[in-house]
Structures are given as structure tokens and as C-alpha cells.
Amino acid sequence: MSASTLESTDCTTARPGAFGNAIGLVCRACGTEQELGPHYACIECFGPLEVAYDFGTITREQIEAGPKSIWRYQPLLPVPADIASFPNTDPGFTRLVKADNLARELGMKNLWVKDDSGNPTHSFKDRVVAVALSAARELGMKVLACPSTGNLANAVAAAAARAGIKSVVFIPENLERPKILTTAVYGGTLVAVRGNYDDVNKLASEIAGEEEGWAFVNVNVRPYYAEGSKTLAYETAEQLGWRIPEQIVIPVASGSQLTKVDKGLTELGKLGLVEATPYKIFGAQATGCSPVAQAFRDGHDVVRPVKPDTIAKSLAIGNPADGPYVLDTCRRTGGAVEDVSDDEVRDGIQLLARTEGIFAETAGGVTIATLKKIIATGQLDPEAETVVFNTGDGLKTLDAIADRVGPAATIDPTYPAFTAANLV
Ligand SMILES: *Cc1c(COP(=O)(O)O)cnc(C)c1O
Ligand SMILES: [Zn+2]
């Protein structure tokens, strides 16, 4: 990326410093540069755009003195220096849990779970929405919108409510009921669409082209949205004592999160905030929607779209926008992309809950089950320091384990009844 050749922001509508240290947008496919604005496709080749920066000097002390949210990384994000003074959900700085019990069970030496279920709407999506909301505000866009597989719907509706702006959220009609209710409760307009996520996404792109001033967080302000995922990398490194782990396992839907975690780790090394030690990134998918894992195994560079059929609905994107970049990242770092069956996903949810007291949604089940699988296949080194991301909360996908867990017995309220049941 030739960020240094970009002139500083020349965006007519935004105030000075509206995007912090960001200086422009760069095409990930051909490198063509464009000014900051509500753009997401390259004017030359229609490739995806990415935010470029001129960072200058950033120190650990400066970051550590910041708020306990993603805004401590403001100098590394396309947001203004006074970002914390605007009403938003202040996501991030979620716990990094040393998972010794799970490590023992899997024969591992050194395992951590980055638990993003602790975000305001209980998934990592609060991070990306917070950055997209800032971009929308600075660009004078008045409506926050998205097509969503569920968690993004929660995050957009909540962030818009808190910011006091309108939201319009589009979801596939067959979404888990808890995710529908936990979006609708924030107000705003929730639209259920007869179709799968890829149909919803297509509709949203069409509307984005018609409705000026609507910020579809993952469509027309996607370059800014995507930068929010870098904060997972920053936090993980900072919480490890400013170190990069040797292996990271990340769930893949559109693939944006995985590719931006790689970008974030690279930035930390370049800025000298951590030692630029090598790391491997692994992608996790559910077999019922595993186009990237399939392409990885087949050695292909292109990702052939599939029709999703899995309980991991938050990852059910059949035509992932960042699929090719996930393949590149995992191959380049020496990682892999693997997939697991829905039954393995349920096992993964229960395994994490039983060993670490962390209740993950289906996406977390995918990640834990994939971790187990790639240890068995020899792709992941059980001796090396490993971080797995739990990106969402099990309370939103209760149906996944509803047939598997419950009370050991139902008894009368007497001591003899308890002993007769022979439970412990
Ligand atoms: C959206 C989502 C992901 C993956 O996000 P992408 O950036 O689209 O790959 C992972 N986990 C959960 C819980 C999600 O909601
Ligand atoms: Zn291009």
C-alpha cells in the first residue's frame, strides 16, 4: 500500500481531522487511490477499498492512557481525536481469558479465549458498527442501515438508538427469534426479507444506490466498518503484554474480521508497538456454509458461492466478499481454513462452556470445534501460544443446545427425594 504518496484528506464535506490519521482509500486489488468519502468500490476496477493512514509516532503509553474501549486505539482508526465525546456504545476492551482447562482437554500448552460476547450487544459487531457510525456522522449521513445475519442487526439498531439517529435493518426472515427480538427492542425499522442473507445483501446494495445519505455500515461505508475489526488484534496484543501470539483462530463469514486482524497485527509491528514476530491465522467455517474452507482445500484462489444450510447463521454468508483475501492471509501466514459439522458446532459450544464457563453462540462453537479439528489434523501446533476468538453470546442461539442440556432431574422439595434421585 502506497499510503505515503496520498495527499492529506481532501474530502469537501468532512471537517478537518474527521478521520484521524486516515489519509485516503486504496484499492485492495489494483492500488488506485481515492479520497476519503462514502466510497467502497475502486473507480478503476471496482475492487474493494481499504483505509490508508499516515500514522506518525504512536506510543504504548499514549494508548494505555486512553479509555477502556476501542477508542484507546483512536490514532490507529479512521475516527476523529474527539470520538469519545460522541454518544456511542463504546465497545471493546473485552476480556482475554487464559483457558487452561480447555487447553488441558485439547492437549495444548498455552491457550487464550478472546471473549467478545462481553460487548454491548454481545458480539464483536459492536466494534465495526462504532467505527462505521463515526464515518457516517462525519460524512453527514443521517440513517444507519445494514443487511445482517443477526448480530450486526443488534449492533446497528443499538448504536443508532444511542446516537439518536434512524436505523433501517434488513434480515433474512428465518433468523433465530432471539436475534429478531434483540434487534426490534431498540426501535428503528426492522425489515424481514423472504430470502437468505445473500438475497438480503443484494437488496441492500440496490437500496444503498438509491437512498442518498443512508450509511449501510457493511456496504457503502464498509472500508471504515472493516477497520473496527483491527481492534481485536490490538487488544489481544496489548492484553498479552504487547506481544503477538503464534496462532490465532477466527470464524469466517464475509471474511472481513480475519483479514483486518492480520492488518492490525502488521500495523502494530510496523509501528514498533510490538516485536514483529511471525503468526499463523486460521479460519473457521461451518460445513453447511464453507466456501472459503473448500477453496482452501482445493488450492483455488477464487471462492465459489454456496447456498448456506447450517445452524451457525451468523456465519451463513454463501458469497463472502473477503473470501479471496482470507485465502491469501491464511496461506501467506502458514495457517489454514477448515470447517466443522453442525453437530461438532454443538459439541464445541458445550466443550467451551463445560471447561471454561464461557457460553458461546454457534459461531464460537464453530471456532472451538475447528480448533479441535486442526489440532487433530496436525495443522495447528498444540505447543504454540494460541488465541481463539469467541465472537458472540450463546444466549442468542439457545436452540443450538436446547435438545442437549437440561436439569439432571426434577424432584420434590425434600431431602429424601434428593438422595433418592442419586445425583451426586
Ligand atoms: C459477523 C460475525 C462473524 C464474522 O464476521 P466477518 O467479518 O463477516 O467474517 C463472526 N462471528 C460472529 C458472531 C458474527 O456475528
Ligand atoms: Zn482497483
Work out the pLDDT band at 198, boundaries 50, 70, 90.
Answer: confident
Q: Is the CB of 151 under 6 A from ligand 1?
A: yes
C-alpha grid cell, residue 38:
462514502
From the list 27, 18, 22, the residue with the least C-alpha distance to 8 is 22
Per-residue pLDDT averaged across 109-128, rounded?
Answer: 98
- CA 218 to ligand 1: nearest atom: 8
The pLDDT value given to residue 275 = 98
Whole-number Å distance, alpha carbon 47 to ligand 2 midpoint, is 5
pLDDT tens readout for residues 51-83? 999 999 999 999 999 999 999 999 999 999 999
pLDDT tens readout for residues 348-407? 999 999 999 999 999 999 999 999 999 999 999 999 999 999 999 999 999 999 999 999
Nearest protein Cα to ligand 1, atom 3: 253
Q: Is the CB of 391 under 6 A from ligand 1?
A: yes
- Give the Cβ contact number of residue 104 at 10 Å: 12
Work out the pLDDT band at 2, boundaries 50, 70, 90.
Answer: very low
Whole-number Å distance, alpha carbon 147 to ligand 1 midpoint, is 13
Domain-embedded: residue 259: yes
Residues 185 and 161 sit within 8 Å (Cβ to Cβ) = no
| Interior angle at CA 226, CA 230 and CA 65, nearest 5 | 35
Question: What is the domain-level CATH number for residue 267?
Answer: 3.40.50.1100
Whole-number Å distance, alpha carbon 36 to ligand 2 midpoint, is 15
Neighbours of ion ligand 2 (CB under 5 A): 27, 29-30, 32, 42, 44-45, 47
Nearest protein Cα to ligand 1, atom 8: 254
Work out the pLDDT band at 174, boundaries 50, 70, 90.
Answer: confident
pLDDT at residue 9 greater than cutoff 50: no
Domain-embedded: residue 308: yes
Nearest protein Cα to ligand 1, atom 14: 314
Best residue for ligand 1 mutational test, from 124, 326, 352 (most atoms within 8 Å of Cβ)? 124
Q: Are strands 49-53 and 22-27 parallel, antiparallel or unpaired?
A: antiparallel
Ligand found nearest the CA of 320: 1
Domain-embedded: residue 323: yes
Q: Is the CB of 125 under 6 A from ligand 1?
A: yes
Domain-embedded: residue 168: no
pLDDT at residue 11 greater than cutoff 90: no
Work out the pLDDT band at 176, boundaries 50, 70, 90.
Answer: confident
The pLDDT value given to residue 394 = 97
- CA 260 to ligand 1: nearest atom: 7
Domain-embedded: residue 370: yes
pLDDT at residue 321 greater than cutoff 80: yes
**% pLDDT > 90, the chain:** 93
Domain-embedded: residue 417: no
> What angle do the packed helices 362-376 and 342-356 form, to 10 degrees?
90
Interatomic CA distance for residues 146 and 221, integer angstroms? 10
Ligand found nearest the CA of 25: 2
Work out the pLDDT band at 160, boundaries 50, 70, 90.
Answer: very high
Sign of CA pseudo-dihedral 336, 342, 347, 351: positive
pLDDT at residue 5 greater than cutoff 70: no
pLDDT at residue 134 greater than cutoff 90: yes
The pLDDT value given to residue 6 = 43
Q: Is the CB of 251 under 6 A from ligand 1?
A: yes
Interatomic CA distance for residues 369 and 373, integer angstroms? 6
Q: Is the CB of 392 under 6 A from ligand 1?
A: yes
Q: CA-CA distances (angstroms) from residue 162 to 157, 188, 220, 226, 274?
A: 9, 11, 22, 21, 35
Residues 93 and 69 sit within 8 Å (Cβ to Cβ) = yes
Provide the domain limits for residue 244: 96-122+226-400
Total domains in the fold of the chain? 1
Domain-embedded: residue 85: no
Ligand found nearest the CA of 179: 1
Q: Is the CB of 252 under 6 A from ligand 1?
A: yes
pLDDT tens readout for residues 257-289? 999 999 999 999 999 999 999 999 999 999 999
C-alpha grid cell, residue 156:
446497528
Work out the pLDDT band at 12, boundaries 50, 70, 90.
Answer: low
pLDDT at residue 29 greater than cutoff 70: yes
Best residue for ligand 1 mutational test, from 119, 314, 337 (most atoms within 8 Å of Cβ)? 314
C-alpha grid cell, residue 208:
444503498
Q: Is the CB of 390 under 6 A from ligand 1?
A: no
Q: Is the CB of 218 under 6 A from ligand 1?
A: no
Whole-number Å distance, alpha carbon 45 to ligand 2 midpoint, is 4
Domain-embedded: residue 261: yes
Ligand found nearest the CA of 49: 2
Work out the pLDDT band at 22, boundaries 50, 70, 90.
Answer: very high
Interatomic CA distance for residues 43 and 55, integer angstroms? 25
Cα 12 from chain centre: 31
pLDDT tens readout for residues 289-306? 999 999 999 999 999 999
The pLDDT value given to residue 8 = 38
Interatomic CA distance for residues 152 and 238, integer angstroms? 26
C-alpha grid cell, residue 207:
437500496
Q: Is the CB of 397 under 6 A from ligand 1?
A: no
